[in-house]
Amino acid sequence: MKNRILVIGAGGQIGSELVRELCNRHGNDAIVAADVRQGETKCVFETLDVMNAEAIRQTVKKYDVKEVYLLAALLSATAEKFPEKAWQLNMEGLFHVLNLAKEKIIDKIFWPSSIAVFGSNTPRQNTPQYTVMEPSTVYGISKQAGERWCEYYYNRYGVDVRSLRYPGLIGYRSAPGGGTTDYAVHIFHEARERGSYECFLKEDTILPMMYMDDAIRATLELMEAGTEKIKIRSSYNLAASSFSPAQLAAEIKKHIAEFTITYKPDSRQAIAESWPQSIDDSLAAQHWGWKHKFSLAAMTADMLQHIGAAREKV
Ligand code: SER
């Protein structure tokens, strides 16, 4: 089969959901899932280390890959524990894939950025696409540098690379790992399993969030949009709803009346406070028609329904 799509980081929070949806749309034969750890997928799986440029090149050639989704990264909280490793992993992997496109071996790349590109000097409400950035985390620094390199490769070499600044992502099929927004996934599982949750952020810490269904749809809509519609080659602001742990807990209580939440902020609090509270994604709307579907209420209902259903099956 020709023109396959390769997903690197296929075992991660976004990767596992994206592979599932790409298989549904294009068929299992069209997708190659890759990760450092062996995973369960409907499509072909390759064990692949994003730091190994030659291995990526071989995989691309072996399967005649034309499109790459590069999702392997160390997220904000983990990256603070291993700053140099995070910088290397987050940047080198990107160069390996950008260079394959520069050499015209592949045609198109998706690479995720994040709200972590913003910092404490950024306007926190309705943060514009173009504004002061100055990220203070290693993760944010790597994402901002990556954005600059994506735009550079587009301008200088014509590389068709597309990117989104994801907010915190919430889904029931996959677990997050090492992020500051992870509480918003854990809380649902603990609410179902224990009826209580101890949150590592303060109750009033508002962050931009998005349901995974919206995030996957945004990613595929961006990738399927005509080239003329993609006017930003660094990374697009993307948004759905913003809320605090207390607001999310109140929404969960509408479904599980006895649910309780306590707060024990840790080092992730400072990271959260350096990020915006809400994001202006109007350029994504104007350029390629983006619009989120899930509100906080709709997302909470859907999460609890699916997590409940999974538990009943066990
Ligand atoms: N969700 C990510 C994190 O918390 C941000 O991109 O690290």
Tell me, yes or no, whether 179 and 147 share the same domain.
no
Tell me, yes or no, whether 145 and 173 share the same domain.
no
Alpha helices in the chain (DSSP H): 13-26, 53-62, 76-81, 83-102, 138-157, 183-193, 212-224, 245-253, 268-273, 282-288, 296-313
* 113, containing H or E segment: strand 113-114
**Hey, which of 180, 238, 242 would you mutate to test ligand 1's pocket, going by the most ligand atoms within 8 Å of its Cβ?**
180
Tell me, yes or no, whether 71 and 106 share the same domain.
yes
CA of 32 to the centre of ligand 1 (A): 25
**Hey, which of 114, 127, 210 would you mutate to test ligand 1's pocket, going by the most ligand atoms within 8 Å of its Cβ?**
114
Residue 139 a catalytic site member: yes
Tell me, yes or no, whether 188 and 284 share the same domain.
yes
CA of 181 to the centre of ligand 1 (A): 6
Tell me, yes or no, whether 161 and 25 share the same domain.
yes
Tell me, yes or no, whether 201 and 128 share the same domain.
no
Amino acid code (one letter) for 28: N
Domain containing 65 equals 4-168+213-237
Using CA positions, which residue lies closest to atom 3 of ligand 1? 179
Q: Which residues line ligand 1 (CB under 6 A)?
A: 75-76, 114, 116, 139, 166, 168, 179-181
The DSSP call for residue 140 is H
Using DSSP's 3-state secondary structure scheme, residue 50 falls into: coil
Tell me, yes or no, whether 9 and 158 share the same domain.
yes
Pairing of strands 168-170, 207-211: parallel
Q: Which ligand 1 atom is the nearest neighbour of the CA of 182?
A: 4
pTM of the model: 0.96
Tell me, yes or no, whether 132 and 174 share the same domain.
no
pLDDT of residue 40: 83
Tell me, yes or no, whether 115 and 201 share the same domain.
no
pLDDT of residue 250: 98
> Is residue 167 a contact partner of residue 238, using CB atoms and an 8 Å limit?
yes
Q: Which ligand 1 atom is the nearest neighbour of the CA of 143?
A: 6
Q: State how far Cα 37 lies from the chain centre.
A: 19
CATH of the domain at 183: 3.90.25.10
pLDDT of residue 39: 82
pLDDT in tens, the chain (314 residues): 779 999 999 999 999 999 999 999 999 999 999 999 988 888 999 999 999 999 999 999 999 999 999 999 999 999 999 999 999 999 999 999 999 999 999 999 999 999 999 999 999 999 999 999 999 999 999 999 999 999 999 999 999 999 999 999 999 999 998 999 999 999 999 999 999 999 999 999 999 999 999 999 999 999 999 999 999 999 999 999 999 999 999 999 999 999 999 999 999 999 999 999 999 999 999 999 999 999 999 999 999 999 986 655 44
Q: Residue 209 burial by CB count (10 A; 0-12/13-18/19+): exposed, middle or buried?
A: buried
Tell me, yes or no, whether 80 and 228 share the same domain.
yes
Q: Which of 63, 139, 154, 236 is catalytic?
A: 139
User: Rounded distance, CA 178 to CA 33, Å?
Assistant: 21
Least Cα distance to 208 among 180, 232, 189 occurs for 180
Tell me, yes or no, whether 52 and 110 share the same domain.
yes
Tell me, yes or no, whether 175 and 120 share the same domain.
no
CA of 180 to the centre of ligand 1 (A): 5
CA of 312 to the centre of ligand 1 (A): 30
Residues in the chain: 314
Residue-wise over 67-94: b if at least 16 C-beta within 10 A, else e? Answer: bbbbbbbbbbbbbbeeeeebbebbbebb
Instruction: Quote the tokens at residue 74.
Output: 């160390």
User: Rounded distance, CA 10 to CA 18, Å?
Assistant: 8
Q: Which ligand 1 atom is the nearest neighbour of the CA of 77?
A: 7
Domain count for the chain? 2
CA of 29 to the centre of ligand 1 (A): 31
Using DSSP's 3-state secondary structure scheme, residue 165 falls into: strand
Using CA positions, which residue lies closest to atom 2 of ligand 1? 179
The DSSP call for residue 106 is -
User: Rounded distance, CA 3 to CA 107, Å?
Assistant: 9
Using CA positions, which residue lies closest to atom 7 of ligand 1? 179
> Is residue 8 a contact partner of residue 60, using CB atoms and an 8 Å limit?
no
CATH of the domain at 222: 3.40.50.720
Q: Residue 227 burial by CB count (10 A; 0-12/13-18/19+): exposed, middle or buried?
A: exposed
